[in-house]
Amino acid sequence: MKAKLAALPMSYRLAVTSRVLAAVFGGYLVAALASVTLTLWLPLNRAEAVVTGMTVSFLVYLVAVLWCFACRTAWSAWVGLLVPSVILATVSGAARGLGLA
């Protein structure tokens, strides 16, 4: 961080804020959806599946957060979270539809 705080352009600050929001909220959403998907699809009884889903979710959150800051632009942070979210939501819905839940 060589530039002094005052010299940072507004576009940079907006980009960082965007990534942070994506990481915190978007990341949480992906992690939650991943836990739900796991819970619905794992061939375990209800309580065991829930415990497994929750335990693993934080690893997903980690990856999501790292993605938000590693990707090239702030936009790709959001896209990179949206796509898995849609996929996971669909897969969970499918489990429900197939009567697995």
Residues near another protein (CB under 8 A): 1, 4-5, 15, 19, 31-33, 35-36, 38-40, 44-55, 57-58, 61-62, 65-66, 69-70, 72-73, 92, 101
The three-class DSSP label of residue 25 is helix
CB closer to another protein out of 61 and 81: 61
By 3-state DSSP, what share of the chain in percent is helix, strand and coil, each rounded to 5? 85, 0, 15
CB closer to another protein out of 18 and 82: 18
Read off the DSSP letter of residue 24.
Answer: I
- Min separation Cβ 74 and another protein, Å: 8
- In angstroms, how far apart are the furthest CA atoms of the chain? 57
